[in-house]
Amino acid sequence: MKNFELENLGVQEMNKTEMTNVNGGLLGISINLGPLLTQIGQTVNDTITFIGVNLNFIIKALQNL
């Protein structure tokens, strides 16, 4: 659809900052998703690092057998 068609339907564009804040819902609760997304990213990075270190250890141990 073209922009003017979406505007006629009441659809608005959001930038990156607006997308990290979810407003509304049944209770009108405002949630800032920025810190949650940061924590999820850090947890994924930590998990990948942990797996990499352990795989390195296992591979080296198997090579020494």
* 20 vs 44, higher pLDDT: 44
> Residue 63 has what pLDDT?
94
Residue for token digits 């296992």?
58
pLDDT above 50 for 62: yes
Do the beta carbons of residue 21 and residue 31 sit within 8 Å?
yes
pLDDT above 60 for 23: no
pLDDT tens-digit map of 31-54 = 778 888 899 999 999 999 999 999
The total number of structural domains that make up the chain: 1
What's the whole-model pTM score? Answer: 0.50
> Residue 1 has what pLDDT?
44
Rounded Cα–Cα distance for residues 62 and 54 (Å): 12
Domain extent, residue 23, equals 3-63
